[in-house]
Chain A
């Protein structure tokens, strides 16, 4: 491991790809202000910063998606100007984004070899291509049907396919933009094996993530950006987590300490009760009571039935059997419209696909559920919308240049807050949050955890699904554990701690690492 970050001292291992004093201006604001980044062969270089710090912009400049307004990009000592990502790719620079950019309705093999299919006499050699695809993926520990459509696989598999493709295409530099956001721990480990292997092959790897433990697990050096400026590039060996967080935020943050005495407060009658609700092929029948003033945490790996449970609770899917009661009255719950009428709200796991209305404004995204509740003809006028959106934007510290800007231009954390605001505007009594802190920056993360605690204190009933164990134990009054589409445990009191949860999840998955992420 190289223990210095000055270019002069690294004569024996010069930078493969380098950004020198890069400036990028959008409209009136400087997204990047004189940023340097140097990548060496055989290193994993973590790029950290809160959302809006300029990580994505820097990556887009390095990979040709944007052109710099100042400074230069240097490849193997020569200044280059990539016209587009394809151009960068042809120079050995590949990228894998958080949202997989492949074709879901084509086969895995076709996705891997798209644009460079092996042909004979102009015909695609399908069987050869599929054989190669199988071989290639086996190196990544994936043994799947390469003829099946990519979209039928989990995001995790799609992600690995995307990485395999990018590595095949490039070979010098691999940019991983939040690759682990959708992966469970087992899959993360798999990915890290792959990354280590690539590193040994001499690739330079840029690794963007919000998971600090992952940064420490695999990175050699780290570059930290804040507000478009370079804060520093350091070898990771000499840094503590607190150092990194402080550099990212410019301040110390801590989560609220685990709340005590929640159970007593939440001893009242159930607000909503699910009795033996299940859906064939999706989730085994489950029973759960949720009371006012409590947070029910849901732990479990991807595909364990967490999201399926949440969708049934919100009426987005219907259970085949079972009963749902509100208070002590049985109710029908066959659509989100009904659920909302009962005072439910739902922040879905996949923000982009099921959450935000990307082209609409922040204001409209916030008022939409309330307006849906009011109906077609009791329209909120613009001023009313502004007032409501403004209030919740302030409450949740939503950082948007204007409430009229399209929500898709906000960072992930702010988008998540917008969706939370959307439900708070409907004055809900029961909120279902599916992975509310996934893929968002540390600051927004803390804000959302704070909000969950606040809402509980205000007497809402909450159900929160999260993979972040230390986070979920911090705010949950009870935790239910899901495994293989089944609710397998309900933890209370002293059992609410990461190791018990991991044991419950891992009862049949010995491979799961038994450590909780900590920030």
Chain B
């Protein structure tokens, strides 16, 4: 059993992460150095985690959405809205808790809107969420009047830049959210229902799953995750940048989920693996920063690594590995 647990840790994703980290280390020998500074851990490794948080949190919600055979393109825009709402509220003198609750509530409302479009109006998810992807950034710009709303509220800033038990606050939030959502999904029937609806919504509905309600809940959760992410990003730069906050992050989140092994065709999903996917992406980004390569290489390097990961996950590769295993087993039997 223990061995089985251990062997589950050996998968293309963790191999990829280790390889990326080792390459980073080769390019920048100080990569694994972590020091204690001003009451918090400090080092490139911590940066990978901290900078990976926004996408990781988006990927938590996105995993569930993709598992239902959907996709949520609006998360980047929802991040911008959430940050804009929180920032304008604190600048207008509201207490931080009001701003945080309002931002999270707006995120859920955005998600529920997507969910209703998908579940009840039966609009294809990619189209339904495209609406808010485009309109959402406009809404955020309206809220901030097109400029970066800078704030000095200590609570919001703490969310983005504080530290707890030596770890950056965003990392702590992401870990808590990860544990909560894995718990929610796996110790209730929600995970099974999500996978059922993703595999075959018609069959799941006939088996008595309230698929419409489930979809609304899943998209709502994705909106909530986007709002959390938006708060962190705003807190990090002490301002809400409606033009740039979360820009294109929906694509990184989808990528993270796919790297994590969840199929875009819906069904089986793993939130933890999606988060791992987000960390792989960020490990590459941070690696490029510390390596000293000119920025023109960024996208090429990223694309190369991603192609490598997908090749490792492809059915062909899986079959090849299976074949090697079988041949080895047969050879062992023969000898």
The answer on direct contact between A and B (beta carbons under 8 Å) is: yes
In Å, the complex CA distance between A346 and B203 comes to: 11
B190 touches A369 (CB 8 A): no
B208 touches A340 (CB 8 A): yes
Is A377 close to B, CB under 8 A?
A: yes
Residues A27 and B326 in contact in the complex (CB < 8 Å), given A316-B206, A376-B190, A379-B188 = yes
Is A273 close to B, CB under 8 A?
A: no
A359 touches B267 (CB 8 A): yes
Partner of A357, one of B188, B189, B196: B196
Is A336 close to B, CB under 8 A?
A: yes
The chain A residue with its CB closest to the CB of B266 is: A359
Residues A376 and B204 in contact in the complex (CB < 8 Å), given A357-B199, A359-B267, A359-B268 = no
- Residues 234-280 (chain B) with a chain A CB within 8 angstroms: 267-268
Is B200 close to A, CB under 8 A?
A: yes
In Å, the complex CA distance between A377 and B196 comes to: 16
In Å, the complex CA distance between A27 and B326 comes to: 7
Residues of B contacting A372 with CB < 8 Å? Answer: 189, 193, 207-209
Partner of A377, one of B188, B202, B208, B210: B188
B189 touches A379 (CB 8 A): yes
In Å, the complex CA distance between A335 and B213 comes to: 13
Residues A375 and B207 in contact in the complex (CB < 8 Å), given A353-B202, A359-B199 = no
Smallest CB–CB gap between A418 and chain B, Å?
11
In Å, the complex CA distance between A339 and B189 comes to: 20
Smallest CB–CB gap between B53 and chain A, Å?
28
A336 touches B200 (CB 8 A): no
- Residues 177-205 (chain B) with a chain A CB within 8 angstroms: 187-190, 192-193, 195-196, 199-200, 202-205
Residues A358 and B190 in contact in the complex (CB < 8 Å), given A340-B208, A369-B207, A372-B207 = no
Is A253 close to B, CB under 8 A?
A: no
In Å, the complex CA distance between A388 and B195 comes to: 20
Residues of A contacting B326 with CB < 8 Å? Answer: 27-28
Q: How large is the interface on B (under 10, 10 to 19, 20 to 34, 35 or more residues)?
A: 20 to 34
Residues A371 and B200 in contact in the complex (CB < 8 Å), given A316-B206, A336-B207 = no
The chain B residue with its CB closest to the CB of A346 is: B206
The chain B residue with its CB closest to the CB of A371 is: B189
Smallest CB–CB gap between A4 and chain B, Å?
40
The chain A residue with its CB closest to the CB of B263 is: A359
Residues of A contacting B193 with CB < 8 Å? Answer: 371-372, 376
Is A55 close to B, CB under 8 A?
A: no
Looking at B189, B193, B203, B208, which has the most chain A CB atoms within 10 Å of its CB? B208
Smallest CB–CB gap between A127 and chain B, Å?
32
Residues of A contacting B267 with CB < 8 Å? Answer: 359-360
A314 touches B210 (CB 8 A): no
Q: Mark A22-36, 1 if CB is under 8 A from B, else 0.
A: 000001100000000
Partner of A380, one of B189, B190, B208: B189
Residues A336 and B205 in contact in the complex (CB < 8 Å), given A357-B196, A358-B199 = yes
Residues of B contacting A354 with CB < 8 Å? Answer: 200, 202-203, 206
The chain B residue with its CB closest to the CB of A407 is: B199
Is A199 close to B, CB under 8 A?
A: no
Smallest CB–CB gap between A230 and chain B, Å?
25
Is A422 close to B, CB under 8 A?
A: yes
In Å, the complex CA distance between A316 and B200 comes to: 15
Smallest CB–CB gap between B85 and chain A, Å?
29
Residues A368 and B209 in contact in the complex (CB < 8 Å), given A374-B189, A375-B189 = yes
Is A348 close to B, CB under 8 A?
A: yes
Is A373 close to B, CB under 8 A?
A: yes
Residues A337 and B210 in contact in the complex (CB < 8 Å), given A359-B268, A360-B267 = yes
B203 touches A336 (CB 8 A): no
Is A313 close to B, CB under 8 A?
A: no
In Å, the complex CA distance between A374 and B207 comes to: 12
Is A296 close to B, CB under 8 A?
A: no
Residues A356 and B203 in contact in the complex (CB < 8 Å), given A364-B192, A379-B187, A379-B188 = yes
In Å, the complex CA distance between A71 and B183 comes to: 52
- Residues 197-254 (chain A) with a chain B CB within 8 angstroms: none
Q: Mark A3-37, 1 if CB is under 8 A from B, else 0.
A: 00000000000000000000000011000000000
Smallest CB–CB gap between A380 and chain B, Å?
7
In Å, the complex CA distance between A374 and B193 comes to: 12
Is A378 close to B, CB under 8 A?
A: yes
In Å, the complex CA distance between A346 and B326 comes to: 41
A357 touches B206 (CB 8 A): no
In Å, the complex CA distance between A85 and B268 comes to: 29
Residues of B contacting A375 with CB < 8 Å? Answer: 189
Residues of A contacting B189 with CB < 8 Å? Answer: 371-372, 374-380
In Å, the complex CA distance between A422 and B187 comes to: 21
Smallest CB–CB gap between A433 and chain B, Å?
13
B203 touches A353 (CB 8 A): yes
In Å, the complex CA distance between A367 and B207 comes to: 10
- Residues 351-396 (chain A) with a chain B CB within 8 angstroms: 353-360, 364, 367-369, 371-380
Partner of B196, one of A28, A316, A360, A379: A360
Residues of A contacting B208 with CB < 8 Å? Answer: 336-337, 340, 368-369, 372-373
Q: B residues bordering A, Cβ < 8 Å?
A: 187-190, 192-193, 195-196, 199-200, 202-210, 267-268, 322, 326
Given pairs A356-B200, A364-B196, A375-B189, 18 additional interface contacts (CB within 8 A): A28-B326, A314-B206, A316-B206, A335-B210, A337-B208, A337-B210, A348-B206, A353-B200, A355-B203, A357-B196, A357-B199, A357-B200, A359-B199, A360-B199, A367-B192, A371-B192, A376-B188, A377-B189
A-B contacts, 8 of them at CB < 8 A, read A316-B205, A316-B206, A348-B203, A353-B203, A356-B200, A364-B192, A371-B192, A379-B187
Which 3 A-B pairs rank lowest in CB-CB distance, beginning with the nearest?
Answer: A372-B208, A340-B208, A359-B267
